[in-house]
Structure 1
Amino acid sequence: MSEDHGAAHLVPLLHRTLGDNILGVCLHGSAVLAGLRPHSDIDVLVVVRRSLTEDERRVLVRELMQVSGAPGVRPVELIVVVQDEVRPWRYPPVCDFLYGEWLREEYERGVLPEPGSTPDLAPLLTMTLAGDTALYGPSPAQLLDPVPLVDLRRAIVAGVPQLMADLDHDTRNVLLTFARIWTTLATDTIRSKDAAADWAVERLPSGHRAVLAHARAVYLGDVEERWDDGLRSGVRPCADFLVQVIGRAYERS
C-alpha cells in the first residue's frame, strides 16, 4: 500500500500522550480499503494495555483537536481499544476512547470520551485485520482476534436506526453506509464506500439510482456536495428502500 495515508504525524503524538501503554497503532477505513478519497478521514485504531486515565483522555483530545482538520491535514477519527476487551473476542465490544470531528463541539465544552459498548467496532476491527497496515507495533493479526461473521452482521445492522436519524444532515455518508451494509450482508465482504455504491446502484430500482450515484460522485470529488430539489426529494425514498433491503438481507443471513 502507498505510504500516502496522511497518518505519519499521529504516531509521535500518540507516543507523547500514551507512552508505553500503546501496544500497536493500525490503519483502517478508506486508507486500507481502496485509498483515501477527497472527503475521507484518517481512520486509526490504537490498541493499548489498559484503559486511559482521565488525564490521558484530556491530553489526547487536546492534541488531536490541534491537528485534526488543520489546514493541509485530513480530519482524524481515532479509536482506542484495550486489548483485553477485544481479545478474546466477545460481543458487543468495548471502545475505550473515540475522537471524531463530529464531536468537536462536545470536546470544546470539556466533554471527554468515555469507555462504552460499541457494536460498530465489529466492522472496524474487520477492516483493520483485512487492511493489515500497522503504523506502529506488530501486525493487526497479532493484536486482534477475527470477528465472527454473525457478529459482524448484527453489528452493522444495529447502526441503521441512528444512521436514518442522521440522514438529513449527513446525507452522503448515510446513503453510502447503507450501500456498504447491504453489500456486506450480501457478499460477506466490506468494500470501500464507492465500490459498495457501484454494487448497489446496479441492483437498485431505476428511480433510486441517481440519488446513490450522486452520493458516490460527491464522495469521489467528482461533483460538489449539493442536493438540488430533484435529488433531495428522492433521498428519503432511496434511504427507505435501502433500509428495507438491508432488513431482508439480514433476515436471510
Structure 2
Amino acid sequence: GRRYPAKRELQFGEWQRNDILAGIFEPATIDIDLAILLTKAREHSVALVGPAAEELFDPVPEQDLFEALNETLTLWNSPPDWAGDERNVVLTLSRIWYSAVTGRIAPKDVAADWAMERLPAQYQPVILEARQAYLGQEEDRLASRADQLEEFVHYVKGEITKVVGK
C-alpha cells in the first residue's frame, strides 16, 4: 500500500552531531528522502548484527520511489538553485535518472558512468568533469560552464520526467 511520504523519527547524521550531543533531537517529520534511503538500505546495506535490511523493511513501492525522485527534481529550476553546489547537483541528477530508469540506487560515480553513455555529446563534458572532481582526479570548474550546466540540468530533468511522470 501507499506510504508516501513517510515520517522519519530519530535520524542521526554527522551534520546533527552538535545538536545531538547537546540533547537536541529533531521531532518526527515527513521526509521525502525515506523512499530513496530505504531502497538504498535494502539494496546495499550489510547487517552487523541481526536480520538483513531486506528482511526488516518491505520493498518501497515503485510509485513511492518515483514520487520521491520527482519531488527532488523540484529543487533545481534555475542557476541560483545550484550555484555553489554544481558538482553535487550534476551527480545527484545522474543518480536520480539512473534510479528512475532502473529502480535501483547507485553510487555517484557509477550513475555518472551510466548517464554518460546516454547523454548527447554536448552534455558529456559536464558530467565527466563532475565525476572526475568527485573522485578527486580533477579540479571542479563546473561553475565556469554556466550555460552548458543549465542546459544539462534541463535536459536530464526532462529525461527523468519522461520516466517518472508529471
Partner of 2:133: 218
**Residue pairs, 1:45-56, within 5 angstroms:** none
Deviation of the 1:121 alpha carbon: 0.7
> Which consecutive aligned stretches of 4+ in structure 1 deviate over 6 angstroms post-superposition?
103-107
In the alignment, is the contact (CA less than 8 A) between 2:86 and 2:143 conserved in 1? Answer: no
Name the SS of the counterpart of 2:70 in structure 1: helix
CA distance in structure 2 between the aligned counterparts of 1:228 and 1:149, rounded to whole angstroms? 34
Deviation of the 1:182 alpha carbon: 1.1
Partner of 1:134: 47
CA distance in structure 2 between the aligned counterparts of 1:183 and 1:214, rounded to whole angstroms? 18
Q: 1:141 to 1:188 in 2, by over 3 A?
A: closer
In the alignment, is the contact (CA less than 8 A) between 1:89 and 1:146 conserved in 2? Answer: no
Matched, 1:196 2:111: yes
CA distance in structure 1 between the aligned counterparts of 2:146 and 2:36, rounded to whole angstroms? 29
Matched, 1:125 2:38: yes
Matched, 1:234 2:148: yes
Structure 2 counterpart of 1:250, one-letter code: V
Q: Which moved more, 1:92-101 or 1:166-175?
A: 92-101
Matched, 1:160 2:73: yes
Higher helix share: 2
- Greater relative contact order: 1 or 2 (C-alpha under 8 angstroms, separation 6 or more)? 2
CA distance in structure 1 between the aligned counterparts of 2:103 and 2:151, rounded to whole angstroms? 26
Q: 1:249 to 1:210 in 2, by over 3 A?
A: same
* Deviations 1:117-169, CA, capped at 9 Å, x for gaps: 11211111111111141234332123211111121111111111125574112
* Equivalent in 71, 88, 112 of residue 173 of structure 1: 88
> Could you list the runs of 5+ residues in structure 2 that have no partner in the other structure?
none
Q: 1:131 to 1:240 in 2, by over 3 A?
A: same
Partner of 1:4: none
Q: What is the aligned length?
A: 164
Identity of aligned residues (%): 36
CA distance in structure 1 between the aligned counterparts of 2:121 and 2:18, rounded to whole angstroms? 40
Q: 1:211 to 1:93 in 2, by over 3 A?
A: same
Higher strand share: 1
Partner of 1:244: 158
- TM-score, normalised to structure 2, is 0.82
* Structure 1 vs Structure 2 CA RMSD: 2.9
Q: 1:228 to 1:131 in 2, by over 3 A?
A: closer
CA distance in structure 2 between the aligned counterparts of 1:238 and 1:102, rounded to whole angstroms? 30
In the alignment, is the contact (CA less than 8 A) between 1:89 and 1:145 conserved in 2? Answer: no
Q: 1:121 to 1:226 in 2, by over 3 A?
A: same
Partner of 1:19: none
CA distance in structure 2 between the aligned counterparts of 1:142 and 1:186, rounded to whole angstroms? 25
Q: 1:101 to 1:139 in 2, by over 3 A?
A: closer
> Could you list the runs of 5+ residues in structure 1 that have no partner in the other structure?
1-87
Q: 1:233 to 1:156 in 2, by over 3 A?
A: same
In the alignment, is the contact (CA less than 8 A) between 2:43 and 2:54 conserved in 1? Answer: no
In the alignment, is the contact (CA less than 8 A) between 2:86 and 2:142 conserved in 1? Answer: no
Matched, 1:90 2:7: no
